Amino acid sequence: MKMLSLVGARPEFIQAAPVSRALRRQHREILVHTGQHYDYQMSQTFFDELGIPTPDYNLGVGSGMPGKQTGEIMARLEEVALKEVPDLILLRGDTNSTLAGALVASKLHIPAAHIEAGERSFDRRMPEEVNRIVADALADLHLCVSEKGVRQLAAEGITQTAHFVGDVMLDAMLSNRPLAQRRASHILTRLQIHPRQYALVTVHRAANTDNPHRLAKIVEVLNQIHEPVVFPVHPRTRQALANLGATFASHVRLCEPVSYFEMMVLEENARLIATDSGGVQREAYFFSVPCLTLREETEWTETVAAGWNRLVGVEPARVLEAWQTVTIPPHHPPLFGDGTAAQKIVALLEQDEIRYGATDAQRRMHSPIIELLGSIH
Ligand code: UD1
Ligand code: UDP
C-alpha cells in the first residue's frame, strides 16, 4: 500500500516515529510535513533524535491565522495528493494540519485514517476540538488511544470504524527511554536540578496564552512555588510572556523548548508536572508522575479518574493548594494500551476494506475525482 502520512506540529513528529517505522516494513510511506512548526527546536530536532525519515515534501506553510494556515496546507497538500495518488492519508490528533488533511482526503475521495480519534474536551472554543470533530466526521478509520475514545465516537454514531489501539506516544516513550537516559541526562546538570526535587511546567494552549489574565495568573503561581520549576517555553508562549512583560523569580528556570530525549528525562525525574499539553499529561501518566492540568477540562479524563491528574485551572489559590498536597495514587492501570499501538494501526490499515488497488491506475478508478482533477492539474 502507498500511504501519505501528514505531520506538521511537534507532537505529530513524535507520533510519526513509531508509526513510520512499522509502516515502512511492508508499505510505501510518503511523509508530508506541512511546515506548521518550523523552528529547529520545534521540528528538525525530532527528526534527528528519533530517526524519522526526511519528509518527501515540506509544504512550508509556516504560522498564520487559522483560516489562512489551514487553507494554504489544503492547497499545497492537494497538489501532492494529486501527484502521488496515495491509497490512504494518515492523520493524527487535532492540529490545523490534521483538519486540512481530513478535508483534502475527503474532497479527493481518498480514504483517511485518524490516529487519536474520539478524544473530546466538549469545548468548541478550543481550536483543537473543532479540528477533531471534523477529522472524525470525515475519517474512514478511527484509531483510538483510549477505550473512552471508542465510546465517544459511538455516542456520535461512529461505530464500525472505531478501534482501540492504544497510544503511539507510549510506543515512542518505551522505545526511546533507554537512549534518552543515556544521551540526555546532562539536562539535569545543565539546569542544576535533582531528581524529584523540581517541577516541570509547559504551557501553550491558546486559552492560556492568548488571554493575558490567565497567563498572568500562571506567572503569579509559578513565582510563588517553593521548589525549582523548569519551564521549557513554547514560541507562542514566549511571545505572549513578552507582551505581558512577565518577570520570573530565580527558582523558575525558563529555557527554549527542549528535545524529546531531554523532555523524557525531565518528565521521568520530576516531582510533579503542571501543564496544559495533551501529550505531556499522558507522558506524566506513563512515567507515574503526578500531573496538574492548568485547564478547566481535559480530554484525558481517565488520568483524572485514576487519581494521577488534577484539573486545577489557573486560579493561584487552587493551583497552589493542589501543588502542595499532591500525592501518589496506589494504582496505575494501563489506560493507554501496551506500547504496540503502531503495529496495531498498521494491521488495521492492512485489514480494512478501505484498502484500494495497488497501482495508480486502479486507485484513480476508485477515485474519479482524482482522475478528473488530475487531468485538469
Ligand atoms: C499547535 C496546535 C496544538 C498543538 C501544538 C503543539 C493548532 C490549532 N494547534 O499549536 O493543537 O498542541 O501545535 O505544540 O494546530 N511558532 C514559532 N515557531 C514554530 C512554530 C510556532 O515561532 O516553529 C509560533 C508562531 O508565532 C505561531 C505560534 O507559535 O504563530 C503558534 O503556532 P501554531 O502552530 O499556530 O499553534 P501552536 O500554538 O503551536
Ligand atoms: N515536548 C518536547 N519538548 C518540549 C515540550 C514538549 O519534546 O520542550 C514533547 C512532549 O514530551 C510531548 C510533545 O512534545 O511528547 C507534546 O507536544 P505539545 O505539548 O506541544 O502538544 P500537545 O501534546 O498538547 O498537542
Q: How does pLDDT run across 86-98, given as a tens digit for each residue?
A: 999 999 999 999 9
Q: Which of 280, 283, 309, 336 to mutate to test the pocket of ligand 2 (most atoms within 8 A of CB)?
A: 280
Q: Percent of the chain beyond pLDDT 90? A: 93
Ligand 1 and 37: CB distance under 6 A = yes
Q: What is d(CA 329, CA 133) in angstroms, rounded to the nearest whole number? A: 33
Q: What is d(CA 344, CA 229) in angstroms, rounded to the nearest whole number? A: 38
Contacts of 364 (CB under 8 A, 6+ apart): 85, 370, 371, 374
Ligand 2 and 12: CB distance under 6 A = no
Q: What is d(CA 238, CA 301) in angstroms, rounded to the nearest whole number? A: 28
pLDDT tens digit string along 192-216?
999 999 999 999 999 999 999 999 9
Q: What is d(CA 295, CA 309) in angstroms, rounded to the nearest whole number? A: 11
Say if residue 373's pLDDT is above 80.
Answer: no
Ligand 1 and 15: CB distance under 6 A = no
User: 213 an active-site residue?
Assistant: no
Q: Quick one: average pLDDT of 117-132? A: 97
pLDDT tens digit string along 36-51?
999 999 999 999 999 9
Burial class (CB in 10 A: 0-12, 13-18, 19+), 123: middle
Confidence of residue 61 (pLDDT cuts 50, 70, 90): very high
Give SS3 for 270.
coil
Ligand 1 and 11: CB distance under 6 A = yes
Q: What is d(CA 7, CA 77) in angstroms, rounded to the nearest whole number? A: 11
Confidence of residue 377 (pLDDT cuts 50, 70, 90): low
Confidence of residue 357 (pLDDT cuts 50, 70, 90): very low
Q: What is the mean pLDDT of the chain?
A: 95
Q: Which of 61, 119, 236 to mutate to test the pocket of ligand 1 (most atoms within 8 A of CB)?
A: 236
Shortest CA distance to 85 belongs to which of 376, 368, 347? 368
Catalytic residue selected from 142, 163, 204, 234: 204
pLDDT tens digit string along 234-289?
999 999 999 999 999 999 999 999 999 999 999 999 999 999 999 999 999 999 99
pLDDT tens digit string along 144-185?
999 999 999 999 999 999 999 999 999 999 999 999 999 999
One-letter amino acid for residue 295 of the chain: R
Shortest CA distance to 231 belongs to which of 208, 213, 211, 210? 208
- Residue 236 C-alpha to ligand 1 middle, in angstroms? 6
Task: Locate 40 and state its grid cell.
Answer: 529547529
Ordered alpha helix ranges (H), 85-156: 96-107, 127-138, 147-155
Ordered alpha helix ranges (H), 2-87: 10-24, 44-50, 66-84
- Residue 231 C-alpha to ligand 2 middle, in angstroms? 12
Q: 193-208 burial, b if ≥16 CB within 10 A, otherwise e? A: beeeebbbbbbbbebb
Say if residue 362's pLDDT is above 70.
Answer: no
The mean-pLDDT minimum among 130-139, 302-311, 365-374 falls in 365-374
